[in-house]
Structure 1
């Protein structure tokens, strides 16, 4: 299989195309990971990009981050006694504790998955 060329003015340019990549919707964690790699680990970012593995990597990171966040939230809520009974008894206290738990879980996910190399 040879390379074909197209004449553009005075130059012959190769007809190169990237392989088809899956069309996946990337969430907030994938976007954070892309930005982190692009800004702080350019070699890894461009290696993934040129090997057409960036989209799959970002998708995997998104899935791992979401799974870890869900597990952490459930585990932390159980340990701190944040239950449906508390929600029925004192909604504001439940909201405060759940917001605190969600923020703590997000920080752990960012540190362990998104900003790790």
Structure 2
């Protein structure tokens, strides 16, 4: 008996295990959704239920979440850099006064998070 076979009807390969041929199937890779995609998912699920259901039925929810996550990450990173540059926060400040650097970066983080949420997540 052959170790592996191919069935053109199903388009699957089968591997011999004992007396049986077992199909060689691979689960699809999980979607790459980060924190922003998860926040958008929660918002749609809890506040925009009809849109959430429509997107699930049309199988457009996952691509939408991936795109929102990508856009939000880019916007967040850009805002952090712009705010830090505008306020003169540098690595020198980090080396000389760590607490001041952390305080100011936390403030920037909070502002950037709020902007991203208002512009991309909670719309």
The bucket for the TM-score relative to the shorter chain is 0.7 to 0.9
Superposed displacement of residue 25, structure 1: 2.8
Match of 2:59 in 1: 52
Matched, 1:64 2:71: yes
* Contiguous gaps of at least 5 residues in structure 2: 1-26
| Bigger helix fraction | 1
Moved more, 106-115 or 33-42: 33-42
More strand by share: 2
Higher relative contact order (CA 8 A, sep 6+): 1
Instruction: Give the aligned CA root-mean-square deviation in angstroms.
Output: 1.6
Secondary structure of the residue aligned to 1:23 is coil
Measure, in 2, the Cα distance between the counterparts of 1:98 and 1:84: 12
Instruction: Show the counterpart of 2:119.
Output: 112
Which one of 89, 97, 109 corresponds to residue 104 of structure 2?
A: 97
Larger radius of gyration: 2
Residue of structure 2 aligned with 1:42, choices 49, 59, 71: 49
TM-score by length of 2: 0.73
Aligned length: 97
In structure 1, list runs of 5 or more residues that go unmatched: 1-19
* TM-score, normalising length: structure 1: 0.77
Structure 1 residues 59-96: Cα deviation after superposition (integer angstroms, max 9, x where no partner): 11111111100000000000001011111221111111
